[in-house]
Structure 1
Amino acid sequence: MSETLLERCAFLAASAAGNPTHYVVEQALTQAELDWRFLSFEVDDAHLEKALEGLDVLGFRGVLVAPEFRTAAVEYLEVLTPRAAAAGSVDCLVREQGKLVGDNTFGAALADALGGTDKVAEKSVMVIGCGSIARAIAAGACDAGATAVHLADSDEGQLAELVEQLTEATSQNISPVSINDNTVRTPAGVSIVVFAPDGDDQESRPVIDTSAAEQKLTVVDTRLRGSRTGLLKFANQQGATIIDGVQLFASETALALERWTGMAFDRAPLQELAEEFLGL
């Protein structure tokens, strides 16, 4: 890229309306005194490949990918980081050696939001969900050194397929947990429970029986919402440590910005910006 041109980054989504990404990243770059340009593009899924190719050809420094494109984008990228390959999805692209490389910072955001990999290492984690978000979180937990990762879903066929994919990708033993009569029971010793639904499953949540879980329980809701969810209200009643979707978003965004710039970004201001945008 010519030294006379500004660095450019982008957000790629089917619809950017109501999403805090553009506002938060633009403000973060300004606060970091980086004279970069951040652009948002709304793209039809049929044109995703061309959009990614165009951003690469035009020399964009980095790209954030909205959830609806994260799995599909994998097949259009020549290079993936190991954690993106394990997650089977990309949320962050970064230019390395002249090419946009696919990365996944969402899985790593779990440990980041909790305060570091040592907060996940040697822990037992249960992830409720069977889509791309659940896979990214489970892969991130494995990468952070979790001793056991359990996946729970009511679709036993899809659950078995995802368990097989993750076991192969991470070389760890992933355990399936059934959901019966809309109730899921945490296996003994679980200390982190993550609710990670995709798409149409956003509104439905099973009853979570935590009687066998560790006393010091952490409950994570990956949904980016403008108000506290019923799950987090339940977690608060249980005296659990709570991580919400806004905190995960702040960590995910900070990790992407750090990949692009090589600078450190404080998570708290990013969370405040997201809360401001969402009206919290």
Structure 2
Amino acid sequence: MTSHPQQDVCCLMGDPIAGNPTQYMLEKAFAAAQLDWRFLTFEVPSINFEGALRGARIFCFDGVMLAPPHRSQVMPYLEKVGDAARISGQVNCIKQVGGQLTGYNTEGRALRQLLEQAGAVNNAKVTILGAGRLARAIGAELALAGAGEIVFACRRPAAGQELQKTLLEQTPLTQCHIETITTECPLTLDEDCQAIVNATPASEPLPVVIDSLPRRAVVADVVYNPPTTWLMRQAEECDCPTIDGLTLLIEQAALAFEIWTGVSADRQAMRDAVEEFLIL
């Protein structure tokens, strides 16, 4: 299935890019859907990013996935941007149609959809560990989707306060708070917290009082390698429902696949590919 005479092609741009499983996962997804599409990976330093994106436009690439540091740099080069991507300042997925580039953030959307399946978004109180790029993407998506209250627990309160101001001004969210956490002063979760999300790259002990974890709270972690992080182990011991980083990685890539192709992604094929690539 092709939309034009040349090969349908998507790509990943980032720096560094070594060890990223996206190409292998999406090639398997194209094959599972019987699509004659190809996926390429390019290591693109920031200084060359504008030119690389111009090349993708000229060569009519159907889609582009962005890895750091380009997710926050791409906005000036896009014709359209989805609401969550605009508010968070984070674009990880681009679709090209007729020479026009539209930017999306599928990371926040992936987590939002998985949390919705557990009933932990609408009017829910959500605690997010971190205030960096993933916290921004997740916070923006949940705020737009109707979360009742979002708490950002982070080591640098200034970053959280800027994010708090953005969400309160640009989304329907009316309750957003910042908690400063350190190893010496860990986070104690409120009893009415319905979801906790680790949006930091830390996979080992986090500054959280696990005994305060509400037993029915959904616990999610963005770290996908290893997928069984300290937080996931603690949550499972408390019999809390969990969403691991591997599931999130697959879901955000599946959403990009569906944006580009209009075809449902085979998530099991994608999971098998990632587990094979990462030797899990």
Q: Is the TM value for this pair above 0.5?
A: yes
State whether structure 2 residue 197 is matched by structure 1 residue 194: yes
Q: Kindly tell me: are residues 166 and 246 of structure 1, through their superposed partners in 2, closer, same or farther at Cα, counting changes over 3 Å?
A: same
Tell me which amino acid in the other structure corresponds to 1:149. I
* CA gap 1:105/1:146 in 2 versus in 1, 3 angstroms: same
Distance 1:2 1:246 in 2: 31
Name the CA shift for 1:11/1:98 in 2 (closer, same or farther; >3 Å). same
Please give the alpha-carbon distance, in whole angstroms, between the structure 2 residues aligned to 1:165 and 1:102: 19
- Shift of the 156–205 alpha-carbon distance from structure 1 to 2, 3 Å rule, reads farther
Alignment of 1:1-280 (within 5 A): 3-114=4-115, 116=117, 118-173=119-174, 174-180=176-182, 181-197=184-200, 202=202, 206-210=206-210, 213-280=213-280
- What secondary structure, in the 3-state scheme, does the structure 2 residue paired with 1:38 have? strand
* Cα distance change, pair 115–30 in 1 and its aligned pair in 2 (3 A): farther
Please list the CA deviations of residues 172-223 of structure 1 after superposition, one character each: whole Å capped at 9, or x if unmatched.
Answer: 132212215240122331111001115xxx3675321255554302111101
- Unmatched segments (≥5 aa) in structure 2: none
Alignment check: 8 A CA contact 1:125 1:148 kept = yes
**CA displacement, residues 39-84 of structure 1 (integer Å, 9 cap, x when unaligned):** 1111111111211122112211100111332112223323211121
What is the distance in 1 between the residues matched to 2:128 and 2:169? 18
Question: Does structure 2 conserve the Cα–Cα contact (< 8 Å) formed by 1:249 and 1:271?
Answer: no
Contact 1:65/1:90 (<8 A) preserved: yes
**Higher mean displacement: 262-271 or 41-50:** 262-271
1:3 Cα deviation (Å)? Answer: 2.9
Aligned residue for 1:187, secondary structure, equals coil
Which deviates more, 210-219 or 17-26?
210-219
Residues in 2 aligned to 1:168 and 1:3: alpha-carbon distance in whole angstroms: 42
Q: Distance in 2 between matches of 1:264 and 1:126?
A: 31
Shift of 1:115: 5.8
How much does 1:170 deviate? 1.8
Preserved contact between residue 184 and residue 206 of structure 1 (Cα < 8 Å): no
Give the letter for the 1:260 counterpart: W
SS in 2 for 1:70: helix
Root-mean-square deviation (CA, aligned residues, Å) is 2.1
Once the two structures are superposed, residues 242-280 of structure 1 have per-residue CA deviations (whole angstroms, 9 ceiling, x without a partner) of 111110011101100000011111323222221221111
SS at match of 1:247: helix
Q: Distance in 2 between matches of 1:84 and 1:215?
A: 32
How far is 1:116 from its partner?
A: 3.8
Structure 2 distance, partners of 1:13, 1:183, is 34
Taking only the aligned residue pairs, the percentage that are identical comes to 32
Task: Output the CA distance in 2 between the equivalents of 1:205 and 1:81.
Answer: 35
Q: Secondary structure at the match of 1:113?
A: helix
Once the two structures are TM-superposed, the CA of residue 113 in structure 1 deviates from its matched residue by 3.0
Q: What SS does the aligned partner of 1:146 have? A: coil
Between stretches 186-195 and 210-219, larger displacement belongs to 210-219
SS for the counterpart of 2:60 is: coil
CA distance in 2, matches of 1:86, 1:257: 23
Aligned residue for 1:34, secondary structure, equals coil
- CA gap of 1:48–1:158, structure 2 versus 1, over 3 A, is same
CA distance in 1, matches of 2:207, 2:220: 15
In the alignment, structure 1 segments of 5+ residues that lack a partner are none
**Cα deviation, residue 38, structure 1:** 1.2
In structure 2, the CA distance between the partners of 1:48 and 1:117, relative to structure 1 (3 Å rule), is: farther
